[in-house]
Amino acid sequence: MPLRLDASAPGFEKEFSAFLGRNRDTDENVDRVVAGIVADVRARGDAAVVDYTAKFDWAGITAANMRISDAERSAVAAQATAAQREALTFAAKRIEAFHRALMPKDVDFTDATGTRLGARYRPVDAAGVYVPGGTAAYPSSVLMNIVPAKVAGVGRIVMVVPTPGGTLNPLVMLAAEIAGADEVWRIGGAQAVAALAYGTQSIRPVDKITGPGNAYVAAAKRRVFGQVGIDLIAGPSEILVVADRHNDPQWIAADLLSQAEHDPSSQSVLIADDAAFADAVVRAVEAELKTLDRAEIASASWRDNGAVILVPDLAAAPPIVDAIAAEHVELAMEVAEAEVLSQKIRHAGAIFLGRHTPEAIGDYVAGTNHVLPTSRAARFSGGLGVADFLKRTSLVSCTPQSLAALGPSAVALADAEGLGAHGRSVSLRLQSR
């Protein structure tokens, strides 16, 4: 059974703090294994990638067949049904439209001193996209990573995806085709992350790596950060549903399990203001579990990491929501009420407002991105977007007159910091007037 907490009960703060302190992320053993893999790929390149891929995914891998040719990709993608192609195309167009709206604009102006100031946004040259491919196939993740990179203007997009047993998933290949991946490689795990970061004899390195993965992928991204940029360290999936008693318990149960089925380490939390309704949801979860193909995974997640938190009134929910800082937050109530409550929430990867907005709609076709911060990282970061594939370069241009206005203060600050050459580079120009 999931953890039950009552915000009105004595001892709630202590129990809630313990709940927040649970660690569902990478352990030290994983990090040690990943450190060895990354170092080996740096040293041996293709040979190391082939060895680890043969060990973990497919014995038939060679340096010659690591890359999936465009012809092979298209042939496999053609196996998808017309309905699947239509759905992926529909989703891609919505994702593109939303992310185009997020594109920042260059800034260029002259201030009161006559100094020109500005900022230009330019894409990274090459991005590596990691697509999970172990326990399930995720064509949606292909779109969520590649489409924003394309919108940002990235010139080279390299996709890596594990192919257990050597089998290519038609929907993943189709999504790569629709989104516009420039290269697709049949490798995954820490070895793929290392190959993207450092390059091998066959794979040219990239500048940024994005995309979710398992604990080994997360640990590898953490280890190569600095050599390349990364989007975020994606931990186990999370959903927090704030629901009033007017909801259908079966709907809420299905929402909670939509993330629980990802992984035994995933977390599903219900915040409710009615004990009878909360009990009904718990019963509905148990009934729904009997129908799921991934029931074993979802059951473990709900049993070990799930929680039901009772509050005296939903107006008391925002501080609890902010403390959890979940990846996905559903506000299952009337839309007007959800909007008011959402304005009081500061920490969430994504917020879904109203009874008819299940989190799963955001995973696929809403248009927003489903690569989101987990493990309370929503306190300091947001989800993947075009900004992750852009760099901001500042511009400064002084005239003799504006330098005269700015220079004395710059010299004074340089002298105060004991950096004489800094001050002299300005004062020499001031003296020449």
**CA 32 to chain CA centroid, nearest Å:** 24
Residue 422: active-site member = no
Among residues 99, 262, 328, 370, which one is catalytic?
328
Q: Verify whether residue 96 is a known catalytic residue.
A: no
Q: Is 243 helix (H, G, I), strand (E, B) or coil?
A: strand
Cα separations in angstroms, 87 against 117, 145, 159, 368: 45, 17, 21, 16
- For residue 332, give the nearest of 432, 214, 244, 429 by alpha carbon: 244
- Locus of tokens 């987990």: 374
What whole-number distance in Å separates Cα of residue 26 and Cα of residue 233?
10
Of the candidates 238, 261, 288, 327, the residue annotated as catalytic is: 327
Spatial separation of the C-alpha atoms in residues 254 and 366, rounded to whole Å:
18
Run of H or E including 210: strand 208-210
Rounded to 10°, the helix 46-56/189-198 angle is 160
Number of C-beta neighbours around residue 406 at 10 A: 17
* Bridge partner list, 127: 157, 208
Show the tokens assigned to 202. 């066959």
> Which residues are marked as active site?
327-328
